[in-house]
Amino acid sequence: MKLQTSQGQALRTSRPAVRGLPALSRRPVRVSAIAAPEKQSTPASLNGTSNWQPTSWRSKPVVQQPEYLDKQEVVKACEEIARMPPLIFAGECRTLQSRLAKASTGDAFVLFGGDCAEAFSQFSANRIRDLYRLLLQMSIVLAFGGGVPIVKLGRIAGQFAKPRSASTETIGGVTLPAYRGDIINGPEFTEEARRCDPWRLVRAYNQSAATLNLLRGFSYGGYAGLSRVSQWELEFMKNTPEGHAYMDIAKRVDEAIQFMIACGMDTNMPFMRETEFYTCHECLLLDYEEALTRLDSTTDKWYGCSAHFLWCGERTRQLDHAHVEFLRGVNNPIGVKVSDKMDPNDIVSLIASVNPSNTPGRLSIIVRMGAKALRAKLPALIEAVQRSGQVVTWVCDPMHGNTETVSGFKTRRYENIRSEIEAFFDVHEKMGTVPGGVHLEMTGDNVTECIGGGASISEDDLNSRYHTHCDPRLNAEQSLEIAFYVAQRLRQRRENLAAKTA
């Protein structure tokens, strides 16, 4: 979050009436935005969104939505959120899009990371700080090894809702609605907890706002300054191999900074004191997303103001369905997750639908297949996109294709996660294309949810510190180990390109 206020930029909170919702007040509420507005805007007609409204998704088939018993309470909760300030700002989204455009050409690399699903019960300043600190550590490792800027996106301040493979869950002969994330219902296996409560939407908004407030403070207030690199170490990581390797890099960064200071560098320059940090989550719960969609008065475009970056999941990416229709109209940078089920012709059609103007940085394709399937299926997808002339940022999600159940626990094996990242880099190297980023479910907590890695977590360790409300996450040690491997591949890629140029 580059906290540079631009003059005259605002977001209007007015929006048209929603089916079943009364029209909100059209009196504009001006909110100062962040980052410079774009100098020229593309007319909505050229983007294919001239007739689009935040309510347009309601005319399409929709899946993975909660079944609320009291529809009027949903109306009231959404009205309250729609009256609230936006969580993020249009200018920030445009800045992020420019960063993602660089990642599509290899001039930057994207790091997505955070919880599978945020939880109300685990909300604390310390947990936010530890995840933020881990992402900073990983970005330093990647930048130092890869020699490119790292675009940091946290799965935080909005990653509450989760798609489910079944609408119900049965335990001991009792069947109840599935847990869909704290923004919808509770994880406890009781009838009361599993009831969909629309006022959880408001609680999720409030927690997201508080989280963003802290993240902005970290990003702007000096905590993320390069002079503090050696102070970002997590306490429980100090005696681990990854912790020692990180501190070695931190020491070298400190030495480089001291050298630059001796050469006359001003330590008050923004890049020394601040960092850009963005938020992202799956665009799943469309009532919530619609309530936070605002019109930017600078460009007269709609933005989803619940997060800087929104993505469409594997279960909701149907071309003629509601989620794609919603993402088609917002001007945030967006992503689409695809598995080995994606057909090359379909991916071209999907890209053309959500990015008809072929804007660099607008769309990231996040592949989640498992290593074997990725080696077999990804080349055809890349070839189809290349042949069509479409510009995307390719990102690897090595988590969701590698989930299994061991001793009654959902888990993932570190070796499989790394193997999929390896396959991702190998395929792009072979095809001469750009590996643009990695998308991890991870935490700054010292958990035991994924097996293996330098942490040497075994199957017997799973019940020790298994705290996730949904899917298993890499802990800090495993996450840093992944970062060192990715940094190695980025360095290797840079050296290969230099050799070809020479």
Burial of 333 (0-12, 13-18, 19+ CB in 10 A): buried
252 is in an annotated binding site: no
- The residue with tokens 């390797």 is 245
Distance, CA of 163 to CA of 347 (rounded, Å)? 21
* DSSP one-letter string for 207-250: HHHHHHHHHHHHHHSSTT-GGGGGG---GGGTTSHHHHHHHHHH
Neighbours of 293 (CB within 10 A): 24
Contact 479, 398 (CB under 8 A): no
Distance, CA of 302 to CA of 15 (rounded, Å)? 10
Nearest one of 93, 307, 333 to 204, comparing CA atoms: 307
Distance, CA of 170 to CA of 129 (rounded, Å)? 37
Judging by DSSP bridges, how do beta strands 393-396 and 334-338 pair with one another? unpaired
116 is in an annotated binding site: yes
Cβ within 8 Å of residue 7, ≥6 positions away = none
Cβ within 8 Å of residue 151, ≥6 positions away = 96, 99, 100, 102, 103, 108, 109, 110, 111, 276, 278, 437
Distance, CA of 238 to CA of 233 (rounded, Å)? 7
**Three-state DSSP class for 204?**
helix
155 is in an annotated binding site: yes
294 is in an annotated binding site: no
Beta-sheet strands, E only, within 375-498: 393-396, 403-406, 409-412, 437-441
The tokens for 47 are: 């983007």
Distance, CA of 308 to CA of 96 (rounded, Å)? 8
Residue type, 113: G
The tokens for 4 are: 């540079």
Helix axes 371-388, 414-431, angle to 10 degrees: 30
Distance, CA of 143 to CA of 437 (rounded, Å)? 12
315 is in an annotated binding site: yes
Distance, CA of 200 to CA of 180 (rounded, Å)? 12
Beta bridge partners of 378: none
Burial of 13 (0-12, 13-18, 19+ CB in 10 A): buried
List the binding residues for phosphoenolpyruvate: 155, 314-315, 337, 368
Annotated binding-site ranges for Mn(2+): 116, 400, 441, 471
Binding-site sequence positions: 116, 155, 314-315, 337, 368, 400, 441, 471
